Amino acid sequence: MEEREGEVRWDGLCSRDAAARDAALDTIGQAVLRRAESIASGAAADGLPVPAARDGLGEALARLLMLSKRCPFPDVREKSEAILSGVQELGIRIPRPLGHGPSRFIPEKETIQVGKEDATMHTLFAESFATLGRLDNVTLVMVFHPQYLESFLKTQHYLLQMDGPLPLHYRHYIGIMAAARHQCSYLVNLHVNDFLHVGGDPKWLNGLENAPQKLQNLGELNKMLAHRPWLITKEHIEQLLKTEENSWSLAELIHAVVLLTHYHSLASFTFGCGISPEIDCEGGHTFRPPSVSNYCICDITNGYHGVDEIHASPAGSIPVSSTESVCEVEALMEKMKQLQECRDEEEASQEEMATRFEREKRESMLVCSSEDEESAATRDVSRHFEDTSYGYKDFSRHGMHVPTFRVQDYSWEDHGYSLVNRLYPDVGQLLDEKFHIAYNLTYNTMAMHKDVDTSMLRRAIWNYIHCMFGIRYDDYDYGEINQLLDRSFKVYIKTVVCTPEKTTKRMYDSFWRQFEHSEKVHVNLLLVEARMQAELLYALRAITRYMT
């Protein structure tokens, strides 16, 4: 089973045609069983116990395990299970999943189960599988909100696979660079595989210094966009566009900027929702038999896999009475009602609105964005970027002042959208649609309450994130933020947006304790899109200034 042959065979499973998938899986099954029989018979001839899977068989078995659990096509799931059973009958140990579903924060039984999805979700799953060759855990968590997921997948597909200024292997390498800034090994691993699959040079993966100088030059912009986008100037853009033989074209740079911001914000979602490693990736499976030291054997037979499944309620490990949580929801709804009444009665002056923004901006710097946990970049991830010590810093620390970014002077709608669409056709439209869906998405519910207008709360979350980036809306009263977002929620927001690698399950559990997991995922969609738009605004403004 040579790796290149295996690549060709696996590709056939992405077909939307059942007969083509069936033929591809027959070929895979024959190759896997042939290799397994060779290992088993060799051991028998030498009088030795059957060894563990080796020589590429382990990777193939892990891939089959993923297909048996995560493929949207029932025929592929069933056949993959049958192949694994055939290997097991030869005495070779097959892998089992580690973890309990697509998220470490959300109990598996509360996520959408593959094979039990409705028709709309099945279409999205099938489209995702056909496009990516897998049904990844990000998709399985985002599908709580199918309308958003459809827009997200369409945009990501266009950025990575459709015609565009950058070659395919550059796109995946830029994805690796962006995800690595937040030490997001989940996304790095996925794009390392994709990079190799589209013909990328394996040497580049040994470190950014082994990539072409043109990509190395992008490192500075990647670093600032991820951690301090307010520092980007037209001079940074000029350096990239005027570096002789390693220069970027404007169209290429727009493509790169959109990819960088996409993967910075997707790293926020990955950590914010506790996305688990993919079943067939490192950390997603094991060949060791289950240990019975932590739970009784009856739990294994009943499908219980470990102590983490204790977190079955939204409150998780944070002890709290249901009465207290209900009171939190009622209090939040009452504040929304009072704020609406105040809006109707009087409107603050422009001077007072500006003062409230500056106060909220200062206070956002005092919100601790982590539980004082230093997360050092692992070697495997840190080699994909330079200056590993460079991280998020509040923009007015150490006496340095950065002028407020007024949306009235440069906005996505009036400036950024048209610039992106002009230099990278259709992408501006795709991004605009995705921003609007995330911002306007509502089911008119809050925890157990129905028929609730949540627009005030959604706007407070979006504007708080932009406020952390120094971005101000002249027509918004920033006094509302402190009324609607409590401290634990602010800590979660700031951590997920600014230092996502430090997000913990305790942070996720500690805000909105009576809300559904789908509502917390909804919050993460707002964080993802508000962060991406903030980064884009700073980068696109710098590009506009360079062009004029």
Higher pLDDT, residue 365 or 68? 68
Q: How does 79-112 read in b/e, with b if 16+ C-beta sit within 10 Å?
A: bbeebbebbeebebbbbebebbbbbbbbbbebbb
Last residue of a domain, one of 33, 63, 97: 97
Examine residue 309 and state whether it is found in any structural domain, yes or no. Answer: no
Active-site pick, 71, 184, 273, 467:
184
What's the average model confidence in pLDDT over 459-481? 94
Q: Kindly state whether residues 365 and 241 are assigned to the same domain.
A: yes
Is position 184 annotated as part of the catalytic site? yes
Q: In terms of domains, do 224 and 243 share one?
A: yes
DSSP states of 468-532 as a string? HTTEE-TT--THHHHHHS-HHHHHHHHHHHH-GGG--HHHHHHSSTTS-HHHHHHHHHHHHHHHH
**Residues contacting 486, CB < 8 A, separation 6+:** 511
Q: What is the pLDDT of residues 95-108, one digit of tens each?
A: 889 877 999 999 99
Which residue, chain included where needed, has tokens 């140990």?
Answer: 93
Contact 332, 480 (CB under 8 A): no
What is the rounded average pLDDT for all residues in the chain?
85
Identify the three-state secondary structure at position 406.
strand
Q: What pLDDT shows up at residue 324?
A: 59
The predicted structure's pLDDT at residue 380 = 60
299: in domain: no
Token duo for residue 97: 């999943």
Last residue within a domain, chosen from 97, 117, 132: 97
**Local confidence band at 391 (pLDDT 50, 70, 90 cut-offs):** low
CB–CB of 84/58 below 8 Å? no
**441 Rama class: left (phi>0) / alpha (psi -120 to 50) / beta:** beta
Residue 300 has pLDDT above 60, yes or no: no
Q: Is residue 292 part of a domain?
A: no
pLDDT at 344: 67
Quick one: which H or E segment has residue 248?
Answer: none
pLDDT at position 545:
96
Q: Are residues 233 and 358 in the same domain?
A: yes
- Rounded-to-integer distance, Cα 288 and Cα 135, Å: 25
Q: Are residues 375 and 250 in the same domain?
A: yes
**Tens of pLDDT along 240-281?**
998 778 999 999 999 999 999 999 999 999 999 999 999 988
In whole angstroms, give the CA distance from residue 111 to residue 289: 26
Tokens of 208: 């950014």
Residue 298 lies in a domain: no
* Residue type at position 30: Q
d(CA 424, CA 419): 8
Do 274 and 381 lie in a common domain?
yes
DSSP state of 435: H
Is 124 within 8 Å of 143 (Cβ atoms)? yes
> Is residue 169 located within the same domain as residue 197?
yes
The neighbouring-strand residues paired with 405 are: 471
Please report whether residue 304 resides in a domain. Answer: no
- Residue 319 inside a domain? The answer is no
CA distances from 430 to 6, 156, 167, 206 (A): 34, 9, 20, 34
Tokens of 341: 């009444």
pLDDT band at 374 (very low <50, low <70, confident <90, very high): very low
State yes or no: pLDDT of 398 exceeds 70.
Answer: no
Residues 102 and 92 in one domain: no
Kindly state whether residues 72 and 104 are assigned to the same domain. no
- Residue 46 placed within a domain: yes
Range of the domain at 42: 1-97
Instruction: Say which range, 78-82, 402-406, 521-525, has the weakest mean pLDDT.
Output: 402-406
CA distance 490 to 506: 14
DSSP 375: -
pLDDT at 305 over 50: no
H-type helices in 244-383, by residue range?
A: 250-272, 297-301, 322-345, 350-366, 379-382
Mean pLDDT for 330-345 is: 84
Section 21-38 average pLDDT: 90
If one counts the domains in the chain, the total is 2
Digit-coded pLDDT (tens) for 484-531: 999 999 999 999 999 999 999 999 999 999 899 999 999 999 999 999
Select, from the ranges 361-375, 384-398, 466-480, the one with the highest average predicted confidence (pLDDT).
Answer: 466-480
CA end-to-end span of the chain:
57
Regarding whether 52 and 135 lie in a shared domain, the answer is: no
Sign of the torsion angle spanned by Cα atoms 469, 473, 478, 480: negative
| Predicted pLDDT at 294 | 46
pLDDT at 315: 42
With tokens 């399985």, the residue in question is 140
pLDDT in tens, 122-155: 999 998 898 888 899 999 999 999 999 999 999 9
Phi then psi for 107, rounded to 5 degrees? -55, 140
**Average pLDDT score over residue span 102-120:** 92
Closest CA to 416 of 201, 249, 261, 215: 261
Which pLDDT score, from 0 to 100, does residue 54 have? 63
Do 74 and 147 share a structural domain?
Answer: no
Q: In the structure encoding, which two tokens stand for residue 12, read together?
A: 């056939």
> Has this prediction a pTM greater than 0.75?
yes
Sorting pLDDT into bands at 50, 70 and 90, what band is 532? very high
**DSSP codes of every residue in 283-300:** TSEESSPPP-SSS-HHHH
Residue-wise pLDDT for 190-231, tens only, equals 999 999 999 999 999 999 999 999 999 999 999 999 999 999
Whether 530 and 484 map to the same domain: the answer is yes
Cα(256)–Cα(252) distance, integer angstroms: 6
Note whether 273 and 106 are within 8 A (CB).
Answer: yes
Does 511 map to a domain?
yes
> Which value, to the nearest 10 degrees, does the dihedral of the CA atoms of residues 442, 447, 449, 451 take?
0
> Which of 497, 540, 525, 529 minimizes the C-alpha distance to 257?
540
Give the pLDDT band of residue 18 (cuts 50, 70, 90). confident
Q: How many residues can be counted in the chain? A: 548
Last residue of a domain, one of 48, 65, 97: 97
Quote the CA–CA distance of 531 and 524 in Å, as a whole number. Answer: 10
Q: How far is CA 493 from CA 79, 195, 364, 524, 538, in A?
A: 43, 32, 10, 9, 20
Closest C-alpha to 39, from 17, 21, 57:
57
41 alpha-carbon distance from chain centroid: 44
Is 157 in the same domain as 47? no
